[in-house]
């Protein structure tokens, strides 16, 4: 398979040259073969080297050995290398049979030609310094196509392959492509219309196009788009990762990144500040902030972890990240041994390591992850204003509903007073129809519901009670443990002390209709007495009966043994039973001490909420009965308020406005606290530098020789006037002589804009990586980038204004063969067509529906996710509450990133555990489910449909409106027909099922739901049905391949 | 046919370069094995899979997270009481690393808190805390000589699942699904079931334990949640009934196919297929997870907890249902085996969660004739040490992590029944014979599936990666 690849590179890309002359390129043809098949045992790694032979070094390969040479320059027949490769003798054949590598005839021919021509060794191409190549000569025909230098190189290649470039994409496609590539957002229909109206491909000064590009580059959304790439590479997260996964407040660094891209900070400065902003003379707070880049690695706060082991891991992460992002070299291999393919040694790795080894850190995580910068962010104010506005708005809704609710309360109260029976009790005794125990205790149920045990009193025991209740619902359970004669000291239990321990309580629903049971969750538990758990092996607190952990529980130690002990457990949500269902309660005593079983106990149930289940006092309703008022006016003010609060909890209409208000208030507080000073993790040097060692096999405490600070010799050395620290390292990275940084960076940008890199292995420019598809073009652009003072916007402008960029991605009938000739688009004879990243799809629909909050920068927000995604993964440690109001509609780059539970809607995104500059694009049913059912898309489709209806009454114009916003074009007649016929079917359905329509319109923020969707009279139902049909059709169009594709 | 060839070629190039894996999914997340494998073989590139006749067609991996104590459960040391409370002899300890929780503290020998019993014809000794597992000992193949390199949870579990302690490599199930696909087209190749616990666990189960790493994301384990929606985003929104979803999908299909004619991109048809598969999954997943068609005797076999959806026991029934449907790799995770204290109540609680259902799964698979080609694997990320943590002589004592030896067992597909491999020293501290390293275990599991672990590789960042890194030997002794 791998052989096939190198073959492909050779035949497809260079075959014409090859047939013209047997001259072969060492770095492009020979080296890949040697690397792939030989270096594992005859390469740079001394530990796996066999036969004392290196094939990566000229001197060693050609030296005389016992009368023969492995390579005899100019003489194929005398070269043992060739003899071994072509030998039939299994005992001497190379590569050996068990190595599972085989050379093709073509590969052997390349090696033979190379040796015949003198076996010249050269440097691997990417380690050679960059010189700006001359522009190639092009044919007249190509010259007419060329718009800038890029096209000269691409055109030259196409000439040699006798392939025509594709025609230019339509103006609408270009307008959309440019906008997505540069800002990550689709253009507005107005911008597309303007562009189409003015753009003429043959316009000599290309004014319209250039202006359009410049406007996009000047948009602040450009910085957000670029930051999304940078955050993935920087493995940015808002939490530490690993076990504790504590929250960090490093997001001001994210603002720094967005701002740096927007202000077009030169990439050399961008590099230097992130590596060593703190070491610059008179470093500003922002320059120090920039160094957070190298603190974005995971941090391990697991108990029992050795902090030094963690610290070493962080340093290693920095080295590897530097390797991948700037150098395009996988340094990670050298952590344990010398590189098998690239000339970078184990020692070199730890010399790089040394640059990052004296940070003033100690391997701790969370609040202990020093060094920190106290930084006051400046981007929070607009979010506070917006959050405040939302609170005010929701408060108003809550106040007016409160008044209505009060009226409902009064009529309820009047009715209740009239119907009160004298013996009303908040709590009803539960009389189980069956009782059981695990270890044989016999239970006896008395008339008053009290259950007594026999004298067995086993070490551990569970009591199981099953039965029904007359209550229409259950909201809480009360456990009473009365003192009784039968127990030791006449107290609660037959244990020696007479005290009990209850380790866990379970509530389930069983049914005669199914074999499965339902677990019912409690919200909280309170009790009239709790023992000091420090004194009693961890047993004391009543809350611990809810955690399914036998190591703790509720205990009565040190309480008055003459008084009944009481605990009240509130259910999370009221439980309503169907006729075939019963409740099942299990009381467990599985304590360490053992034998502290309940001796006598009673269970009571209630259907009341509020104080009834959150205090041990008598419930408000029972107090009301006891005070037996004749009219509302006679009710005591406190009691009346308790009754009102209880009523409101159950009042659905009120809760529908109250809960959004509480969430908005919580959000406001969160933003206000974000505006204060934040501790951002940064770099700073400790006063006493740490010595650096080679770590044997990469093991943190297996220290080998001490090493100094240096860059890998094959890549050059720090300049003499550079300091030997992070600043010097950064200066070296962006030095003109560095062969890699500019090439790698150019390739990153090319990939972001064009879809695939000139070097397809963006993370590997080493010997095992792929060769550039257009080596001269890469070098020309890389040199140009440096000449232009590392101006990234200029590089992007250069790329997007080329004719190469403007080609269509369509492979219609006439271009069909291109897919066969060049399936991977290595010749660039067309534009790339690929599914947009998940974040871009989300941002696009928010933009298309005008929901997008366009504020730049600020604290992290939480887009919709299915309920329980955090709680699921973290076993309930973290709960996710979606942001409210405008904060819900911020760009994805502002999404709070929890490392242990990355955003569920971001399929295919980098996971941000380690640096990743490229993620494969895949296509799975899980993605289809996300796009169909994620709340973001449902809400956006409804809002876009509403906007369409406001814009026009004509269905076909509404469909056009939706197409223009989602696809930046009008539907063609065939499409229109399909959409209209689907719309018709949906309308028919919703008009006959208006209730479904109303339900379909409730998704999302209360503010985006139209009023008519909440009401139910004729005209409004009609409106709701129409909107539901168009919303579902909009969601269909959102799910089209073209909508989520960059063409 | 030409489409298929192009797809395959791009697919295959994708393996080399990691770019543009889109087209490969034309075959779908749920590869039809009968179709996909020959296509891959035809091009001779990726893998001639299976490399040899597989003994197991599928795996059920019962992962016990936290480090279950081999000393309390399987590794019976009848003489240990002689040294109770003594310092662990230095010739045994050999200056081995401890976690910072017990480093620097005296290492006093604490004999097992559990009693042991011999079971069945094989006479295997199994703890009285897990009598049901004991009762099926004649079906099990114990490996008492497992050892790992990492002493903390996350690195050790990451190592066990991915062959490397640093997160980011593909998990064993992802490798299996990448190599073999799955005969079921309506369910994922690799399904993960995590027990629903009330107590927040001290060791979160990261989704990279079943992640795809650098393999395409279609190979990642799909975690079925214990929620009304077992797969994220599975349910259609309120107000959109299934027949309307069907109409919308028909619209997508028709519009996409217009586009496909214009642009010539095979990816478009592939996308339509994914939406169709999503639609089928919306039916097949609820059908799978709804246990109401199981007879009463099944719940009696798996124990009372199996009636509680989301419990380990209910997940064991699900595992059997997945096996019946041909899913390649099913992995259960039961958390909270990290018993640093109070072994006698805490560890017992986890035994109670799992004992009866684990045994029932083996019995049930056997009755249905599925055990012979289903490999069941039981074990955690490491074991626990012989020294008491806390006061060894009180019930409060527990044990610290111990990677130097621990017990795994397997059953079914291709392993010897009623067999024990390897042994530890008198203190269950070091492996005395038959070393089985984590990479060896991984190599063996792949071997039983018909995969040569050295040949299942993936090129990423300039290197050919495999599950077992550059190590691993198949444990031939345990293969039947």
Range with top average pLDDT, A591-605, A612-626, A912-926:
A591-605
Q: Is B236 in Cβ contact with A914 (below 8 Å)?
A: no
Instruction: Return the pLDDT at B462.
Output: 64
Strands A518-520 and A504-511: antiparallel
Residues of B in contact with A592 (CB under 8 A): 342, 344-345, 395-396
Cα separation, A380 vs A890, whole angstroms: 13
Cis preceding linkage at A95, omega within 30: yes
Same domain? For B315 and B441 the reply is: yes
End-to-end CA gap in chain B? 42
Q: Report d(CA A571, CA A631) in Å as an integer.
A: 32
Residue with tokens 């199996």: B306
Structural domains in chain A, sorted by start: 2-122 (no CATH), 126-165+740-809+824-831 (no CATH), 429-617 (2.60.120), 833-1047 (no CATH)
Verify that B363 and B422 share a domain, yes or no: yes
User: How distant, in Å, are the alpha carbons of A21, A71, A75, A78, B21 from that of A117?
Assistant: 11, 12, 9, 14, 40
- Would B88 be classed as within a structural domain? yes
**Rounded CA gap, B456 and B50, in Å?**
10
Q: What percent of chain A has pLDDT above 90?
A: 73
d(Cα A494, Cα A482) in Å, to the nearest integer? Answer: 13
CATH number of the domain encompassing residue B448: 3.40.720
pLDDT in tens, A496-528: 999 999 999 999 999 998 888 999 999 999 999
B212 Cβ contact partners less than 8 Å away, ≥ 6 residues apart: B170, B171, B174, B218, B219, B220
Q: Which chain B residues contact residue A8 at CB under 8 A?
A: 13
Q: Tell me A506's DSSP state.
A: E
ipTM confidence score: 0.87
Model confidence at A9, in pLDDT bands (50, 70, 90)? very low
Q: What is the dihedral of CA B381, B384, B385, B387, to 10 degrees?
A: 150
Within-domain flag for B231: no
Judging contacts by C-beta atoms under 8 Å, the chain A residues touching residue B239 are 996-1002, 1028
Distance from CA of A978 to the nearest CA of B (A): 7
pLDDT digits (tens, 9 = 90+) for A128-180: 999 999 999 999 999 999 999 999 999 999 999 999 999 999 999 999 999 99
DSSP, collapsed to helix, strand or coil, labels residue A465 as strand
pLDDT for res A103: 86
Residue A132 — φ and ψ, nearest 5°? -75, 115
**Given pLDDT bands bounded at 50, 70 and 90, which one contains residue A689?**
very high
pLDDT beyond 60 at A15: no
Q: Which two tokens stand for residue A751?
A: 């990939």
Q: Which of A537, A875, A921 sits opposite B204 (nearest CB)?
A: A875
Cα–Cα nearest to A101, from A84, A116, A113, A117? A84
Which long-range CB contacts under 8 A does A457-460 form with residues at least 24 apart?
A: A457/A494, A457/A495, A457/A595, A457/A597, A458/A595, A458/A597, A459/A594, A459/A595, A460/A588, A460/A589, A460/A590, A460/A591, A460/A594
Measured CA to CA, the distance from residue A651 to residue A654 in angstroms comes to 5
- In angstroms, the CA A186 to CA A172 distance is 11
CA distances from B425 to A467, A784, B93, B145, B456 (A): 53, 67, 11, 10, 35
Residues with Cβ within 8 Å of residue A385, at least 6 apart in sequence: none
Contact B215, B465 (CB under 8 A): no
Contacts of A975 in chain B (CB under 8 A): 255, 258
Domain membership flag for residue B245: no
Distance CA B444, CA A93 (A): 30
**What DSSP designation does B107 have?**
-
Cβ–Cβ under 8 Å, residues B164 and B151: no
Contact A551 B345 (CB under 8 A): yes
Angle formed at CA B20 by CA B17 and CA B25, multiple of 5 degrees: 115
Region A547-570: mean pLDDT is 95
Q: Which two tokens stand for residue A40?
A: 């594992």
Helices A207-218 & A171-183 angle (0-180, nearest 10): 30
pLDDT at A885 over 70: yes
pLDDT value at residue A875: 67
Helix A637-650 and helix A620-627, axial crossing angle in degrees, nearest 10: 140
Distance CA A105, CA A102 (A): 10
Do B27 and B63 lie in one domain? The reply is no
Q: Are residues B10 and B129 in the same domain?
A: no
Q: Which residue of B has its CA nearest to A998?
A: B239
> Locate tokens 């005395």: which residue?
B432
State whether B18 and B81 are in the same domain: no
For the question of whether the overall pTM of this predicted structure is more than 0.95, the answer is: no
B173 domain residue, yes or no: yes
Given a cut of 60, is residue A616 above it in pLDDT? yes
Q: Are B14 and B92 in a shared domain?
A: no
Do residues B14 and B152 share a domain?
Answer: no
Give the C-alpha separation, A128 to A131, whole Å.
9
Q: What is the dihedral of CA A175, A180, A185, A191, to 10 degrees?
A: -10
Number of domains in chain B: 2
Provide the angle, in degrees to the nearest 10, between the axes of the packed helices A792-800 and A775-787.
140
Lowest mean pLDDT of A113-117, A226-230, B185-189, name the range.
B185-189
Which own/partner contact pairs does A969-978 have at CB distance under 8 Å and 24+ positions apart? Answer: A969/A172, A969/A173, A969/A176, A969/A192, A974/B258, A975/B255, A975/B258, A978/B251, A978/B254, A978/B255, A978/B258
Q: Residue B36 is part of which domain span?
A: 1-46
Same domain, B33 and B72: no
CB pairs under 8 A between A and B: 334
Burial of A206 per CB tally in 10 Å (0-12, 13-18, 19+) = middle
Distance CA B413, CA B375 (A): 4
Q: What's the token pair of residue B448?
A: 């039983």
Distance from C-alpha of B105 to C-alpha of B121, rounded to nearest angstrom: 42
Angle at B220 between CA B217 and CA B224, to 5 degrees: 125
A974 vs B contacts (CB less than 8 Å) = 258
Per-residue pLDDT of chain B (480 residues; tens, 9 = 90+): 232 323 333 333 333 333 233 333 333 333 332 223 334 433 222 457 788 999 999 999 999 999 999 999 999 999 999 999 999 888 888 877 777 777 777 889 999 999 999 999 999 999 999 999 999 999 999 999 999 999 888 889 999 999 998 777 999 999 998 888 877 778 888 999 999 887 666 677 887 899 888 887 778 888 898 777 889 999 999 999 999 999 999 999 999 999 998 888 888 988 998 899 899 999 999 999 999 899 999 999 999 999 999 999 999 999 999 999 999 999 999 999 999 999 999 999 999 999 999 999 999 999 999 999 999 999 999 999 999 998 888 888 999 999 999 999 999 999 999 999 999 999 999 999 999 999 999 999 999 999 999 989 887 766 788 999 889 999 999 999
Q: What is the dihedral of CA B234, B238, B243, B244, to 10 degrees?
A: -110
For residue B145, whether the previous peptide bond is cis, meaning omega lies within 30 degrees of 0, is: no
Least confident among A393-397, A775-779, A910-914: A910-914
Q: Which residue of A has its CA nearest to B455?
A: A100
Backbone angles phi, psi at B398, to 5 degrees: -135, -160
Q: How far is A695 from chain B (nearest CA, A)?
A: 17
- Is B278 contained in some domain? no
Q: Would you say residue B242 lies in a domain?
A: no
Quickly tell me which residue has 């902003």 as its tokens.
Answer: A277
Residue B240 lies in a domain: no
B20: nearest CB among A547, A921, A1035: A921
**In sequence order, what DSSP letters do the residues of B367-416 get, joined into one string?**
HTT-GGGEEEEEE-S-EEEEEEES-TTSTTBEEEEE-S-EEEEEEETTB-
CB contact under 8 A, B462 and A769: yes
Q: For residue A383, what are its two tokens?
A: 């979010």
- Report the C-alpha dihedral over residues A940, A943, A944, A949, rounded to 10 degrees: 160
DSSP state, residue B101: T
The candidate with the shortest Cα–Cα distance to A667, out of A978, A1007, A380, is A380
CB contact under 8 A, A300 and B202: no
Do B113 and B166 lie in one domain? The reply is yes
Same domain assignment for residues B42 and B171:
no
Q: Are residues B320 and B455 in the same domain?
A: yes
Beta bridge partners of B433: B423
Query: What are A180-183's contacts with CB under 8 Å, separation 24+?
Result: A180/A836, A180/A840, A180/A844, A180/A1046, A181/A752, A181/A753, A181/A800, A181/A1046, A182/A213, A182/A216, A182/A217, A182/A219, A182/A222, A182/A225, A182/A753, A182/A796, A182/A800, A183/A216, A183/A219, A183/A221, A183/A222, A183/A224, A183/A225
Same domain, B178 and B313: yes
Distance CA A107, CA A85 (A): 11
DSSP 8-state secondary structure symbol assigned to residue A704 = E
Mutate to test the interface with A, among B251, B272, B290 (most CBs of A within 10 A): B251
For the range B292-299, what are the long-range contacts, defined as Cβ-Cβ under 8 Å and sequence gap of 24 or more? B292/A514, B292/A515, B292/A516, B294/A515, B296/A515, B298/B364, B299/A515, B299/A516
Q: Calculate helix-pair angle for A741-754, A775-787, nearest 10 degrees.
A: 110
Q: Tokens in use for B133?
A: 């597992």
Return the DSSP state at A545: G
| Chain A residues within 8 A of B294 when measuring between CB atoms | 515
Residue with tokens 């025509």: A164
Q: How far apart are CA B258 and CA B402, in angstroms?
A: 61
What is the DSSP secondary-structure string of B169-220?
A: BPPHHHHHHHHH-BS-SSS-SEEEEE---SSPPSS---GGGG--TTS-GGGS
Checking if the pLDDT of A52 tops 50, the result is: yes
């Amino acid at each position: 398979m791998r052989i096939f690849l190198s073959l492909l590179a050779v035949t497809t890309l260079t075959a014409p040259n090859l047939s013209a002359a047997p001259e072969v390129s060492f770095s492009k043809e020979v080296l890949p073969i040697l690397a792939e098949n030989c270096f594992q045992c005859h390469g740079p790694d001394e530990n796996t080297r066999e036969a004392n032979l290196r094939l990566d070094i000229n001197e060693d390969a050609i030296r005389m050995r016992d009368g023969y040479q492995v390579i005899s320059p100019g003489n194929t027949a005398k070269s043992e290398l060739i003899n071994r490769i072509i030998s039939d003798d299994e005992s001497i054949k190379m590569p050996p049979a068990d190595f599972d590598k085989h050379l093709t005839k073509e590969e052997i021919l390349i090696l033979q030609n190379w040796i015949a021509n003198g076996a010249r060794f050269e440097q691997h191409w990417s380690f050679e310094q960059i010189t700006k190549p001359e522009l190639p000569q092009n044919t007249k025909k190509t010259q007419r196509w060329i718009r800038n230098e890029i096209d000269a190189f691409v055109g030259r290649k196409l000439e040699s392959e006798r392939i025509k470039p594709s025609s230019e994409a339509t103006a609408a496609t270009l307008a959309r492509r440019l906008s997505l590539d540069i800002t990550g957002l689709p253009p507005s229909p107005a911008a597309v219309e303007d562009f189409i109206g003015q753009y003429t491909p043959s316009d000599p000064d290309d004014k319209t196009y250039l202006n359009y590009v410049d406007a996009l580059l000047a948009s602040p959304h450009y910085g957000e788009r670029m930051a999304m790439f940078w955050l993935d590479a920087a493995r940015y997260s808002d939490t530490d990762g690993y076990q504790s996964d504590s929250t960090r407040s490093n997001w001001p660094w994210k603002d720094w990144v967005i701002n740096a891209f927007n202000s077009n900070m030169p990439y050399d400065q961008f590099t230097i500040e992130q590596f060593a902003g703190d070491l610059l003379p008179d470093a500003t707070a922002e320059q120090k902030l920039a160094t957070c880049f190298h603190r974005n690695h995971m941090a391990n706060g697991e108990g029992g972890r050795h902090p030094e082991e963690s610290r070493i891991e962080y340093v290693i992460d920095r080295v590897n990240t530097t390797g991948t992002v700037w150098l395009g070299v996988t340094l990670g291999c050298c952590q344990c041994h010398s590189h098998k393919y690239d000339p970078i040694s184990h020692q070199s790795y730890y010399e790089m390591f040394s640059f990052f080894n004296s940070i003033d850190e100690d391997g701790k995580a969370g609040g202990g992850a020093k060094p920190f910068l106290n930084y006051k962010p400046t981007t929070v104010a607009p979010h506070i204003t917006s959050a405040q506005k939302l609170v005010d708005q929701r408060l108003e809704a809550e106040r007016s509903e409160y008044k209505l609710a009060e009226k409902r309360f009064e009529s309820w109260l009047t009715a209740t007073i009239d119907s009160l029976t004298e013996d009303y009790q908040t709590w009803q005794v539960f009389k189980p129809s069956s009782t059981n125990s695990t270890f044989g205790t016999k239970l006896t149920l008395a008339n008053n519901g009290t259950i007594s045990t026999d004298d067995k009193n086993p070490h551990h025991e569970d009591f199981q009670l099953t039965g029904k209740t007359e209550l229409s619902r259950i909201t809480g359970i009360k456990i009473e443990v009365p003192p009784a004669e039968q127990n030791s000291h006449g107290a609660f239990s037959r244990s020696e002390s007479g005290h009990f321990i209850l380790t866990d309580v379970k509530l389930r629903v069983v049914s005669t209709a199914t074999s499965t049971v339902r677990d019912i969750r409690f919200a909280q538990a309170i009790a009239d007495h709790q023992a000091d758990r420090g004194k009693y092996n961890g047993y004391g607190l009543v809350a611990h009966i809810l955690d399914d952990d036998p190591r703790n529980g509720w205990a009565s130690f040190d309480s008055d043994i003459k008084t009944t002990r009481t605990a009240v457990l509130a259910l999370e949500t009221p439980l309503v039973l169907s006729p075939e269902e019963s409740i099942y309660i299990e009381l467990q005593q599985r304590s360490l001490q053992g034998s502290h079983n309940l001796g006598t106990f009673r269970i009571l149930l209630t259907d009341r909420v509020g104080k009834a289940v959150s205090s041990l006092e008598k419930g408000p309703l029972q107090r009301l009965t006891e005070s037996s008022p004749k009219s509302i006016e006679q009710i005591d003010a406190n009691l009346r308020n308790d009754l009102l609060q209880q009523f409101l909890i159950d009042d659905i209409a009120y809760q529908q406005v109250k809960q959004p208000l509480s969430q908005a208030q919580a959000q406001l507080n969160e933003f206000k606290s974000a505006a204060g000073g934040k501790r951002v993790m940064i770099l700073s040097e400790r006063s006493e530098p740490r010595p650096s060692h080679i770590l044997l096999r990469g093991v943190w405490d297996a220290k080998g020789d001490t090493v100094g600070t240096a860059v890998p010799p094959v890549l050059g050395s720090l300049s003499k006037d550079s300091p030997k620290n992070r600043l010097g390292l950064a200066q070296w990275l962006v030095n003109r002589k560095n062969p890699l940084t500019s090439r790698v960076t150019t390739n990153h940008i090319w990939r972001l804009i064009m879809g695939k890199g000139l070097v397809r292995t963006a993370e590997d420019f080493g010997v095992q990586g792929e060769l550039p598809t257009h080596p001269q073009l890469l070098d020309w652009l890389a040199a140009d980038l440096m000449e232009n003072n590392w101006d990234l916007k200029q590089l992007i402008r250069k790329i997007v204004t080329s004719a190469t960029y403007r080609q269509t991605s369509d492979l219609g009938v006439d271009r069909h063969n291109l897919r066969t000739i060049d399936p991977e688009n290595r010749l660039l004879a067309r534009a790339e067509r690929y599914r947009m990243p998940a974040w871009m799809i989300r941002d696009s629909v928010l933009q298309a529906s005008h929901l997008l909050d366009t504020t730049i920068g600020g604290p992290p927000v939480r887009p919709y996710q299915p309920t329980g995604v955090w709680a699921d993964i973290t076993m309930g440690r973290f709960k996710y509450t979606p942001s409210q109001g405008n904060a819900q509609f911020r760009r994805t780059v502002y999404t709070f990133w929890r490392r242990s539970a990355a955003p569920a809607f971001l399929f295919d995104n980098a996971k941000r555990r380690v640096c990743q500059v490229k993620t494969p694009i895949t296509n799975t049913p899980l993605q289809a489910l996300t796009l169909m059912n994620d709340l973001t898309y449902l809400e956006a489709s409804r809002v876009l449909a509403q906007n369409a209806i406001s814009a026009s009454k004509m269905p076909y114009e509404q469909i056009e409106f939706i197409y223009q916003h989602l696809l930046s074009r009008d539907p063609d007649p065939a499409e229109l027909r399909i959409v209209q016929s689907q719309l018709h079917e949906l309308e028919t359905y919703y008009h006959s099922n208006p209730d479904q329509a109303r339900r379909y319109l409730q998704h999302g923020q209360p503010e985006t739901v139209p009023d008519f969707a909440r009401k139910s009279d004729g005209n409004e139902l009609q409106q709701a049905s129409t909107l539901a049909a168009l919303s579902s059709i909009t969601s269909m169009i959102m799910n089209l391949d073209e909508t989520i594709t960059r063409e | 046919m030409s489409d298929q060839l192009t797809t395959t070629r791009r697919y295959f190039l994708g393996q080399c370069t990691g770019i543009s894996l889109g087209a490969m999914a034309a075959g779908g997340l749920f590869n039809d094995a009968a179709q996909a494998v020959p296509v891959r073989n035809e091009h001779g590139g990726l893998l001639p899979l299976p490399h040899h006749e597989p003994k197991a067609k599928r795996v059920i991996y019962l992962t016990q997270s936290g480090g279950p104590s081999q000393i309390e459960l399987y590794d019976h040391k009848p003489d240990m009481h002689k040294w109770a409370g003594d310092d662990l002899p230095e010739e045994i300890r050999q200056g081995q690393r401890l976690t910072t929780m017990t480093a620097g503290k005296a290492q006093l020998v604490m004999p097992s808190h559990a009693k042991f019993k011999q079971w069945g014809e094989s006479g295997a000794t199994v703890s009285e805390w897990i009598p049901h597992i004991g009762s099926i000992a004649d079906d099990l193949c114990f490996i008492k000589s497992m050892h790992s390199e990492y002493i903390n949870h996350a690195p050790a579990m990451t190592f066990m699942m991915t062959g490397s302690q640093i997160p980011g490599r593909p998990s064993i199930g992802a490798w299996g699904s990448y190599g073999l696909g799955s005969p079921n087209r309506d369910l994922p190749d690799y399904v993960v079931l995590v027990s629903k616990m009330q107590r927040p666990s001290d060791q979160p189960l990261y989704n990279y334990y079943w992640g795809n790493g650098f393999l395409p994301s279609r190979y990642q384990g799909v975690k079925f949640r214990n929620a009304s929606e077992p797969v994220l985003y599975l349910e259609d929104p309120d107000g959109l009934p299934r027949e309307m979803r069907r109409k919308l999908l028909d619209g997508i299909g028709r519009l996409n196919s217009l586009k496909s004619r214009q642009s010539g991109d095979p990816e478009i048809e592939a996308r339509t297929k994914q939406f169709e598969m999503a639609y089928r999954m919306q039916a097949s997943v609820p059908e799978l997870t709804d246990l109401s068609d199981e007879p009463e005797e099944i719940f009696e076999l798996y124990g009372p907890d199996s009636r509680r959806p989301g419990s380990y026991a209910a997940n064991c029934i699900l595992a059997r249902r997945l096996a019946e449907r041909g899913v390649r790799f099913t992995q259960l995770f039961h958390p909270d085996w990290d018993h640093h204290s109070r072994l006698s109540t805490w560890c017992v609680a986890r035994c109670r969660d799992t004992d009866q259902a684990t045994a029932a799964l083996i019995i049930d698979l056997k009755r249905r004739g599925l055990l012979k080609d289903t490999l069941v694997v039981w074990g955690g990320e490491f074991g626990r040490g012989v020294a008491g943590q806390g006061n060894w002589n009180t019930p409060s004592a527990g044990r610290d992590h111990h990677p130097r030896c621990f017990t795994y067992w397997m059953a079914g597909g291709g392993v010897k029944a009623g067999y024990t491999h390897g042994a530890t020293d008198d203190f269950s501290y070091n492996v005395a014979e038959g070393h089985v390293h984590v990479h060896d275990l991984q190599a063996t599991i792949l071997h039983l599936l018909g995969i040569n672990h050295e040949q299942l590789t993936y090129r990423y960042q300039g290197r050919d990666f495999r599950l077992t890194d550059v190590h691993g030997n198949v444990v031939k002794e345990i293969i039947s």
